[in-house]
Amino acid sequence: MYFQRLANRVLRFLMFLLLDYEVEGLENLPLEGPLITVQNHMISVDTVLGAALIDRQVMGMSKVENYRLPLVGIVFRMYGTFPVRRGEVDRTALRTALKVLKQGKVVMAAPEGTRSKTNTLQKGKDGLSYVAVKAGAPVIPIAIWGQEKFWEQLRRLRRTKVKMVMGKPFIFEPGEGKLSREQLTQMTHEMMYRIAALLPPEYRGYYSDLSAATEEYLRPYDGRRPKTAPGGRRGSRTVFSKGDVRG
């Protein structure tokens, strides 16, 4: 936890130097208890933004390939991430996520499963929905955009304009009986539409038609909420199949 706090201070300083960023909805973030954050995923920078601005202990999922890089793997583990194998049901990663939530911490992941090559939302995978149901943990949707221009702007020695919006937290209520594949998939789509609704239309991709969104399994979640962003500043400037879990 100490390393993560130190790393977040460094990350926020770098964000101040390199980004012209704005954050909305941080007051929606529960201050305590288990929590799953789900966000769109364009480049590596967007996961860093989310983690650095959440003033809680965060455990993020990251593709297993990152841990095969000597220095990167060490830093990732020290920060508090854990590996997940993409393109398959990684039961070890799922068990780790459930353990983290049981400890009252935050699990951060992108339900699309991989970075979007078009910078628009892809079809969500069901792993995180399953974890949310299994743990009974609230979910908070996060939308981030503008970061896709980061490397281009950095080459031009310009700050990148980035916007991050945190939506209202919710919980899944699947009802009685065994959870079916169809129910789980619908929950995933309902979750993804919550992310899509926070994004500008040109970023919504697979979930562009908000009129198709349902909320059959979603219920509002009320919890304690922080008043300001970390540092006190607003941005200034039991059913699975292959491919269900992100990396």
What is the CATH number for 83?
3.40.1130
Distance CA 109, CA 96 (A): 13
pLDDT band at 223 (very low <50, low <70, confident <90, very high): low
- Residue 107 sits at φ, ψ, to 5 deg, of -105, 125
Residue 239 lies in a domain: no
Q: Do residues 41 and 110 lie in contact, with contact meaning Cβ atoms separated by under 8 Å?
A: yes
Q: What is the DSSP string of 170-234?
A: EEE---SSPPPHHHHHHHHHHHHHHHHHHS-GGG-GGG--GGG---TTEEE------SS-GGG--
Identify the bridge partners of residue 144 per DSSP, sorted by sequence position. Answer: 164
CA within 13 Å, CB half, 1: 5
Q: At which residue do the structure tokens 């990396």 appear?
A: 247
* Tens-place pLDDT, residues 37-74: 999 999 877 878 888 888 888 998 888 888 888 888 88
Contacts for 175-178 with beta carbons within 8 Å, 24 or more apart? 175/217, 178/238
Q: Do residues 91 and 20 lie in contact, with contact meaning Cβ atoms separated by under 8 Å?
A: no
Residue 44 lies in a domain: yes
- Dig out the tokens for 150 from the structure: 């980061």
Cα–Cα distances (Å) from 3 to 7, 57, 76, 101, 208, in that order, read 6, 11, 11, 20, 39
Residue 232 has a pLDDT of 38
* Tens-place pLDDT, residues 73-132: 888 889 888 888 877 778 888 899 999 999 999 999 999 988 899 999 999 999 999 999
Give, for 39, the enclosing helix (H) or strand (E). Answer: strand 35-39
Residue 237 lies in a domain: no
Nearest C-alpha neighbor of 165 from the set 117, 198, 214, 132: 198
Residue 187 lies in a domain: yes
* Tens-place pLDDT, residues 138-193: 999 999 999 999 999 999 999 999 999 999 999 999 887 788 999 999 999 999 99
Domain span including residue 42: 2-231
Q: What is the DSSP string of 69-107?
A: SHHHHHHHHHHT-EEE-TTS--HHHHHHHHHHHHTT-EE
Q: Do residues 186 and 216 lie in contact, with contact meaning Cβ atoms separated by under 8 Å?
A: yes
Residue 246 lies in a domain: no
Residue 245 has a pLDDT of 43
Residue 241 lies in a domain: no
Q: What is the pTM (predicted TM-score) of this model?
A: 0.87
Residue 12 lies in a domain: yes
Residue 134 lies in a domain: yes
Number of domains in the chain: 1
